[in-house]
Amino acid sequence: MPRSEVRVALLGVGTVGSQVARILAVHGNRLSRLIGARLRLIGIACRRPADVSDQWIDKSLLTDDPASLCPQADVVIEVMGGLEPARSLMMSAFENGASVVTANKALLSRDLKSLQQAAYDHHADLYYEAAVAGTIPVVRVLRESLAADQIISISGIVNGTTNYILDQMALKGISFDQALAQAQEQGYAEADPSADIDGYDSAAKAAIMACLAFGQEIKLDDVDVEGIRSVSQADVAAAAARGEVIRLLASISRDKPGSKNGSDCYTPGSSFPLHVSVKPVTLPKDHELAGIHGSYNAVAIKARYAGDLMLTGLGAGGEPTASAVVSDLITVAGNKVSGVVSPPIPLTSLSGSDCSAEISAKNYGQGV
Amino acid sequence: MPRSEVRVALLGVGTVGSQVARILAVHGNRLSRLIGARLRLIGIACRRPADVSDQWIDKSLLTDDPASLCPQADVVIEVMGGLEPARSLMMSAFENGASVVTANKALLSRDLKSLQQAAYDHHADLYYEAAVAGTIPVVRVLRESLAADQIISISGIVNGTTNYILDQMALKGISFDQALAQAQEQGYAEADPSADIDGYDSAAKAAIMACLAFGQEIKLDDVDVEGIRSVSQADVAAAAARGEVIRLLASISRDKPGSKNGSDCYTPGSSFPLHVSVKPVTLPKDHELAGIHGSYNAVAIKARYAGDLMLTGLGAGGEPTASAVVSDLITVAGNKVSGVVSPPIPLTSLSGSDCSAEISAKNYGQGV
């Protein structure tokens, strides 16, 4: 019997969750037509239902008990953040056969493999476009568009708050503290900005991208992290005098130790270790990533066949993040209607199982 | 019974087809693991099999009779180009239940709707990432990543040959004819370069993007086209003197006639006609599309919720295009293994069926 509806539970109704609810309220009919079944929001969990005042939210759907929603849902949207209870709720969703859409980079960067395994074991999907680089569709590009290719390296600006601060320091000649205060006033930085400015938010995103791009389990702890707290106005001014700008760069490459340019020394099937780092770096003003201003994000991908790709977009914000969440919802809800799941990303140590083919292909002598 | 193999027929073994065959030869095992069944190349059709010398091609697979391959294949990769026999072969593939992956922008820009309908009628997929903007994954981004969003406008540089010519004219002060000759020497331009320099290649891509982004059937003939043949060195020099560069821009927007900036006057559910054009325009040097050099392509998308996205990558070339073709192959072959098809893009006139929702949403007063 064809499925007539897909039941959706929304966990969290903060900046992102509220906008997810709004998109579902405004575009529910159009989105239901896209998936071929009615998308039905069955409940919205949050800490204090009485405080929710958004007009587009049906108050009868609110509950302070997220665990009660998971067993009834076909898809659980987790936008509450944090490690627990988010992880337990996701696991509960999978155990009930529900798919999960999440923006939770902190959790995924610690536990992607086991969450993915739980989804797989229960014939469910785990999607997380909104966890990495805001609206930039880098998860789908790595997972699908470059599925046939081989990634050589990724570098990017994946935290809007720190980019805004560095950009303002360069444009206005202000100190780090002044720029941070300004970011907080503008709503770009949290009251406790440490996850952003100490580089851990970027590191979580880098770890997830590394998993996707290289099929190797990389966790937050594997990332070499340095934030921008010690970047002074004198540093920024000195860089400017040399025609350079400072950017907080996330980098993933199979560097030869000591190499200045990882991509040059990449050889297919090589055993150079994967190196994932987040560091403030100086870039020449005409570098493609030097031109990323304000709270924008950018991800530059170098692939063996596709060459150089660059994706730029808003790094954060309720509406942009919600757009990514709901696009994932469309995919996993469509899968529910079809009764299929997307293949999980292979996440093992790189086995070199195609190395023999790689080596024989070298004999073709065409830049393999 | 689970499918143990997916039979692939390759029609065309030119610049792109040859590289598709190479990726399948080198990465066949890895790609088969991704889809969960063996990818088996059952035949390669080309005009003169005796002339094919690529070492990675199994000569026993070659035939000059593409029609003989279609009934045996699960997936047909059409990279021969041209309108016929490409169209008849695709139709024959669909009638046999095979999915089609194609890079054929000329055909799709004339006939996307009927080809898509034929695929749908026979429970098959039609994928065409390589038809638009080279390696830039704009088809998948519009079809999936922005599925929940609403596109306001798209503008882009989607022809590498003309961008190379305009860029060389600006950088070297040479004439259009000199730059064209240089593009031909470098292999960027064909012996008959008219499809590129008269704008029709860009127009075909713009028509396909318009269909994807706005769900409205737009054909090549609907595009307002002007090429770069009449752009002189004097024009380029005059633009440079004003701090501007000339780029051949493809634009899709719901412009109010006479408006200078379509996105500003966009209102959801508006009845402003969709305007698709390809024209040489002058852009200030700091415009995001002014910085696209050589044969690179770029597509800038403005979406209602996601905001501004920009995607940049190589516009052409055998390997890059083959990477896009094989990524589509992975998707449609995976669908064959699961027994599903991806939903076709809705292609009707914009019905405004969500307009009532749009209007009531305006009452929320949050920038809807």
Amino acid letter, residue B302: K
Asked if residue B49 has pLDDT above 70, the reply is: yes
Predicted confidence (pLDDT) per residue in B101-134, tens digit: 999 999 999 999 999 999 999 999 999 999 999 8
Residue A186: predicted pLDDT: 86
From the list B25, B135, B346, the residue facing A306 with the nearest CB is: B135
Across the interface, whether the CB atoms of B23 and A305 are under 8 A apart is answered: yes
Residue B128: predicted pLDDT: 97
Across the interface, whether the CB atoms of B307 and A317 are under 8 A apart is answered: yes
Across the interface, whether the CB atoms of A148 and B338 are under 8 A apart is answered: no
User: Which of the four pLDDT bands, split at 50, 70 and 90, describes residue A345?
Assistant: confident
From the list B147, B311, B354, the residue facing A330 with the nearest CB is: B147
Across the interface, whether the CB atoms of A22 and B366 are under 8 A apart is answered: yes
Phi-psi region of A63 (alpha: psi -120 to 50; beta: other; left: phi over 0): beta
SS3 B301: strand
SS3 A239: helix
From the list B30, B307, B320, the residue facing A307 with the nearest CB is: B320
For chains A and B, count residue pairs whose Cβ atoms are closer than 8 Å: 201
SS3 A161: helix
From the list A19, A320, A354, the residue facing B30 with the nearest CB is: A354
Across the interface, whether the CB atoms of B358 and A28 are under 8 A apart is answered: no
Asked if residue B98 has pLDDT above 60, the reply is: yes
Cβ-based contacts of A310 with chain B (< 8 Å):
310-313
Residue B273: predicted pLDDT: 84
Hey, CA dihedral for B301, B308, A102, A98, is it positive or negative? negative
Amino acid letter, residue B303: A
Asked if residue A367 has pLDDT above 70, the reply is: no
Asked if residue B55 has pLDDT above 60, the reply is: yes
**What string of DSSP letters covers B216-278?**
S---GGGSEE--STT--HHHHHHHHHTTEEEEEEEEEE-PPTT-S-GGGG--TT--PPPEEEE
From the list B28, B36, B55, the residue facing A343 with the nearest CB is: B36
Residues of chain B with CATH 3.40.50.720: 5-134+319-338
Among B59, B113, B172, B205, which one carries the catalytic annotation?
A: B205
Across the interface, whether the CB atoms of B33 and A346 are under 8 A apart is answered: yes
Mutate to test the interface with B, among A140, A305, A325 (most CBs of B within 10 A): A305
Averaged pLDDT score across all residues of chain B: 89
Residue A125: predicted pLDDT: 97
Q: How far is A231 from chain B (nearest CA, A)?
A: 27
Predicted confidence (pLDDT) per residue in A144-193, tens digit: 999 889 999 999 999 999 999 999 999 999 999 999 999 999 888 777 89
Cβ-based contacts of B363 with chain A (< 8 Å):
55
Is A302 tagged catalytic? Answer: no
Cβ-based contacts of B36 with chain A (< 8 Å):
343
Cβ-based contacts of A339 with chain B (< 8 Å):
340
Q: How far is A129 from chain B (nearest CA, A)?
A: 9
Phi-psi region of B98 (alpha: psi -120 to 50; beta: other; left: phi over 0): beta
Residue B229: predicted pLDDT: 96
Task: Report angle CA A348, A352, A356 to the nearest 5 degrees.
Answer: 155
User: Which of the four pLDDT bands, split at 50, 70 and 90, describes residue B362?
Assistant: very low
**What string of DSSP letters covers A45-101?**
E-S-GGG---TTS-GGGEES-HHHHGGG-SEEEE-S-SSTTHHHHHHHHHHTT-EEE
Which segments of A291-361 are extended strands (E)?
296-303, 307-314
Asked if residue B263 has pLDDT above 70, the reply is: no
Q: How far is B252 from chain A (nearest CA, A)?
A: 19
Residue A347: predicted pLDDT: 76
Report ipTM (2 d.p.): 0.90
Amino acid letter, residue A358: E
A353 to chain B: closest CA residue: B30
Q: How far is A360 from chain B (nearest CA, A)?
A: 8
Predicted confidence (pLDDT) per residue in B228-252, tens digit: 999 999 999 999 999 999 999 999 9
Of residues A66, A83, A84, A79, the one with CA closest to residue A17:
A79
Report the distance separating Cα A138 and Cα A301, nearest Å. Answer: 9
Distance linking the first and last C-alpha atoms of chain A: 49
User: Which of the four pLDDT bands, split at 50, 70 and 90, describes residue B347?
Assistant: confident
User: Which of the four pLDDT bands, split at 50, 70 and 90, describes residue A348?
Assistant: low
Hey, CA dihedral for A167, A169, A172, A173, is it positive or negative? negative
Across the interface, whether the CB atoms of B305 and A19 are under 8 A apart is answered: yes
* Domain A5-134+319-338 classification at class level: alpha beta
B360 to chain A: closest CA residue: A26
Mean pLDDT, residues A41-67 taken together: 96
Predicted confidence (pLDDT) per residue in A203-243, tens digit: 999 999 999 999 999 999 999 999 999 999 999 999 999 99
Phi-psi region of B326 (alpha: psi -120 to 50; beta: other; left: phi over 0): alpha
Cβ-based contacts of A361 with chain B (< 8 Å):
22, 25-26, 56
pTM for this model (two decimals): 0.91
Residue B353: predicted pLDDT: 37
Asked if residue B360 has pLDDT above 90, the reply is: no
Phi-psi region of A171 (alpha: psi -120 to 50; beta: other; left: phi over 0): alpha
Phi (first) and psi of residue B262, to 5 degrees: -55, -40
Say which CATH superfamily domain A147-315 falls into. Dihydrodipicolinate Reductase; domain 2 (3.30.360.10)
Cβ-based contacts of B305 with chain A (< 8 Å):
19, 23, 319-320, 322-323
The residue count of chain A comes to: 368
User: Which of the four pLDDT bands, split at 50, 70 and 90, describes residue A94?
Assistant: very high
Residues of chain A with CATH 3.30.360.10: 147-315
Across the interface, whether the CB atoms of A330 and B55 are under 8 A apart is answered: no
Among A59, A113, A172, A205, which one carries the catalytic annotation?
A: A205
**% pLDDT > 90, chain B:** 80
Predicted confidence (pLDDT) per residue in A250-304, tens digit: 999 986 555 444 443 344 445 578 999 999 999 999 899 999 999 899 999 999 9
Across the interface, whether the CB atoms of A149 and B314 are under 8 A apart is answered: no
Predicted confidence (pLDDT) per residue in B283-337, tens digit: 999 899 999 999 899 999 999 999 999 999 998 889 999 999 999 999 999 999 9
Residue positions forming the annotated binding site of B for NADPH: 105
User: Which of the four pLDDT bands, split at 50, 70 and 90, describes residue B165?
Assistant: very high
Report the distance separating Cα B246 and Cα B163, nearest Å. Answer: 9
Across the interface, whether the CB atoms of A353 and B146 are under 8 A apart is answered: no
Report the distance separating Cα A235 and Cα A166, nearest Å. Answer: 11
Cβ-based contacts of A24 with chain B (< 8 Å):
none
Amino acid letter, residue B46: C
Bridge-partner residues for A175, per DSSP?
A: none
